[in-house]
Chains A and B, each alone.
Chain A
Amino acid sequence: MSGPMEQFEIKKLLPIEVNGFDISFTNSSLCMVISALAIVMVFLLCLRKRAIIPTTAQCIPESAYEFIHNLMLENMGKEGLKYFSFIFTLFLFVCTGNLLGLFPYSFTFTSHVAAVGTLSLLALLLNICVGIKRQKWGYLYTFFPKGTPLAMAPLIVPIEIISLLSKPLSLTIRLTANMTVGHIILKVIAGFIITISLVLGWLPLMFTGILIIFEIFIGILQAYVYTILSCIYLGDALHGH
């Protein structure tokens, strides 16, 4: 029987190498593509027949839209809605990735620092670009808050720079740790179904069922937390610290 960590192994499906760089198409890449396609398909299918009084199918994308719209209004105000497409895509991609990983023989790409880290770095990059665009030179006050004595600059500036750079890392670790731990527990408990015995096997089977429901809840919740934290970081850049 395979170990609980084997599910996180990245396997090359299509080896590609460009100038010594390994850019192979892996099982992680495949799941990302499936996830993106699933989102597009669901939206296309549900919004096929658009009506003023929405059908049940139309309600699914509309409620997701409204949910993120309200979340952004609460955390960033009206001017933050300019970045709606980015935040909405982020939420859908992370949420679908979390839920897709629960399918048998699937792969949870959100349990990998490389995948989530890239998304977090994108959020950081957007934060910096928006900050510079909105506040111009005033953005530099992020690293040296107004009213701080000049003599403190050699201490405050590096601390503030590290503080800003550590935000995407904390975002990444939070999501990946939750996803990894959840899937390991699920696999360990599921392993007991076979190892205990046929007589007592129903007990871990029942527990696995409960855990899967719990994992669905955790997956959606973590996507929500990831999105809300990204909104807060972007809001910081919009309104200044």
Chain B
Amino acid sequence: MPHIPTDIKEMEDRIIAMKAKKQDEQSKRKEKDLSQAAKAFQIAIEMVSGVFIGAAIGYILDELFDFQFICLLIFTIFGGFAGMLNTMRYLNQNKEEEGK
């Protein structure tokens, strides 16, 4: 086996360590991107579900008490606010978890 001078061997080790570190950083970035996408998806769901439930309650109340579309209108707006509230709570919770 040919003799490898120590400084070249040291350099090789450093290159290998650097490559491993780079790969690790890349995989971490990918993981972070994926979790960000999942968070964005969750935010969208929170917003929409609030509006949907609000509209459903409004529609049921309109049907029950024959209010035409007044309840539908009011409760859809309330639903929008509820969606925003849920989104804010979700984001605050995430912020707290990231801070830990």
Contact = CB atoms under 8 A, between A and B. Distances in A.
Nearest to B79: A162
A160 B84 CA distance: 11
A166 B50 contact: yes
Given A159-B85, A174-B41, A166 B49 contact: yes
Interface stretch (B7-15, B19-27, B51-59, B62-70): B51-59
A173 B45 CA distance: 7
Nearest to B48: A173
A162 B54 contact: yes
A32 B42 CA distance: 27
A162 B75 contact: yes
Per DSSP, chain A at the interface is helix
A163 B88 CA distance: 11
Contact of A163 (B41, B75, B86, B93): B86
B81 A159 contact: yes
B78 A162 contact: yes
A167 B89 CA distance: 12
B81 A166 contact: no
B49 A173 contact: yes
A180 to B, nearest CB: 14
Contacts of B46: 166, 170
Contact of A166 (B41, B42, B52, B93): B52
Contact of A162 (B45, B48, B50): B50
Contacts of A162: 50, 53-54, 57, 75, 78-79, 82
Interface in A150-167: 155, 158-160, 162-163, 165-167
B46 to A, nearest CB: 5
B53 A169 contact: yes
B82 A159 contact: yes
Contacts of B53: 162, 165-166, 169
Interface in A165-223: 165-167, 169-170, 173-174, 177
A166 B78 contact: no
Interface of A: 155, 158-160, 162-163, 165-167, 169-170, 173-174, 177, 232
11 contacts: A159-B78, A159-B82, A162-B54, A162-B75, A166-B50, A166-B52, A166-B82, A169-B52, A170-B42, A170-B46, A174-B45
Interface of B: 41-42, 45-46, 48-50, 52-54, 57, 75, 78-79, 81-83, 85-86, 93
Given A155-B78, A170-B46, 13 more contacts: A159-B82, A160-B85, A162-B53, A162-B79, A163-B82, A163-B86, A165-B57, A166-B79, A166-B82, A166-B86, A169-B49, A173-B49, A174-B42
